[in-house]
A and B are shown apart, each in its own frame.
Chain A
């Protein structure tokens, strides 16, 4: 079973700065990876699918990339509404695993 390891667990960033989040898969998973954002008290929201394609309505400051089994979510210039927990998830598989999450907090 594939395991997704997210790092760091917490990322402290100042508004306007760049945030880089990592998700490492235990095996090769092609580009079958999604990223979600979850704010306190809210449901998750799909940000990225196919490792690098933004979902409908997602701002261009969010981007995803992949190198082998290492996936990256980059937020180019953090806005106040971007402080949240981010999860990666492998799909097209059963069961679809989630990573443990990265909390992006205000520095």
Chain B
């Protein structure tokens, strides 16, 4: 069974970095693009970032470009999202999601974790 488990969320102070992590089980991430998608409280879904199977292709939403860094460790079957200088507008539940396509990047998601909540407040 495919499982994605996120961690690292919590209360974050504006300007202080934090790292979110996602550990996968039930499949090997080294064939898939992995993504982060977020959802502000009571709001809709927003794609944040994606990283290809070999880390050679990385993409970010304009709203987070330059502040967020996505990375992966295929050996540990894990993906990370570093949030630098968080803003109150970054408050959201952050979901780790698996791309549907093998090797290629389709930008849609057939498996999701339960998410980790990040609250940015001073």
Binding site for B on A (CB under 8 A): 34, 36, 38, 42-46, 49, 55-56, 87, 89, 91-101
CA distance A91 to B110 in the complex (A): 12
Asked if A46 meets B47 with Cβ closer than 8 Å, knowing A34-B108, A95-B62, A96-B107, the reply is no
Q: Are B108 and A98 in contact (CB under 8 A)?
A: no
12 contacts between A and B (CB under 8 A): A42-B114, A44-B95, A89-B45, A89-B108, A91-B106, A91-B108, A95-B59, A96-B47, A98-B44, A99-B44, A100-B44, A101-B44
Closest to B111 in A: A46
Asked if A49 meets B100 with Cβ closer than 8 Å, knowing A43-B112, A55-B110, the reply is yes
Q: Are A46 and B110 in contact (CB under 8 A)?
A: yes
Binding site for A on B (CB under 8 A): 44-47, 59, 61-62, 95, 100, 106-110, 112-115
Q: Are A92 and B106 in contact (CB under 8 A)?
A: yes
